[in-house]
Amino acid sequence: MTHPEHPPASSAVALAPDTRRLPPRAARAWTEKMRVRALGDGRYVVVGQSDSAYEVDLQSGWCTCPDHQYRGERCKHLRRVALEITGGRLPDPDRRATTCMACGRRAFVRSEEPAVCESCRFTPGTTVRDRETDDLLVVVEQTGDRTDCVLIDEGTVADYPTNVGYPHGDPVVMCVYPFSGPADEPFEQQQQYAFPHSRLKREWRPQRDERDFPVVPASSP
């Protein structure tokens, strides 16, 4: 499974809200054509209409442009980066843009997290079913390691006979069988098994806020 790498760059368009009542720098941040790209570590490169490239460090509020360097202004580049992040087009300073290993979509994940988007990620304690056996499992860890890179008994997780039908680029999910050990033994201390992500499906559960329980008054007549 291969996915094209989408660079975390925004398109060179004006964002254009009604800027007539904004101060000039704020208005330019909205309306001027700028290309913005995340460099990592909270830094961004901004290329404006004049084709000059400036570097923005969002955390320290610093920009290499003359407006900021000589006049100390919160320049249009700093403002534009903040606007692009707010609009979800660029990653937060503490996140990186990546391609989700499970679904192939673009995702913003924290630096230390695996390259798996929030909707695909199995958080520890999630109950899942093995599509092959219908066994119930509990997730201990969602890793960012490919199944063809993780060694188990004789070969990789991808080589395991019942895993051959699943994509080799799948991220490995470490699971336990919840009823295999003593009831008071923490899952992390039980024997763990490595599964390809797409071999697991979430147990269906109602959304907490969509449950249709009748509301019973605390004191009934």
Q: Say how far apart CA 110 and CA 112 lie, in whole Å.
A: 6
Q: Select the span of 8-16, 61-69, 128-136, 188-196 touching Zn ion (CB under 5 A).
A: 61-69
Nearer of residues 128 and 176 to Zn ion, judged by Cβ = 128
Q: Say how far apart CA 214 and CA 200 lie, in whole Å.
A: 33
Kind plus residue range of the DSSP H or E element containing 70: helix 66-71
Q: Which of 100, 109, 157, 172 binds Zn ion (CB under 5 A)?
A: 100
The DSSP code for 170 is P
Site string for Zn ion, 128-167 (x = CB under 5 A): ----------------------------------------
Q: Which of 120, 128, 137, 176 binds Zn ion (CB under 5 A)?
A: 120
Burial (CB < 10 A; 0-12, 13-18, 19+), residue 57, is: middle
Q: By CB under 5 A, tell whether 102 contacts Zn ion.
A: yes
Q: Which of 63, 81, 109, 157 binds Zn ion (CB under 5 A)?
A: 63
Q: By CB under 5 A, tell whether 77 contacts Zn ion.
A: yes
Q: By CB under 5 A, tell whether 117 contacts Zn ion.
A: yes
Q: Which of 75, 83, 140, 175 binds Zn ion (CB under 5 A)?
A: 75
Nearer of residues 5 and 185 to Zn ion, judged by Cβ = 5
Site string for Zn ion, 17-56 (x = CB under 5 A): -------------------------------------x--
Helix axes 76-86, 24-31, angle to 10 degrees: 50
Nearer of residues 105 and 162 to Zn ion, judged by Cβ = 105
User: Dihedral sign, CA of 80, 81, 82, 86?
Assistant: positive
Extended beta strands in 35-114, E state: 35-40, 43-47, 53-57, 62-63, 95-99, 106-110
Q: Say how far apart CA 12 and CA 106 lie, in whole Å.
A: 19
Judged by the rule CB under 5 A, the positions of this chain that interact with Zn ion are 54, 63, 65, 68, 75, 77, 100, 102-103, 117, 120
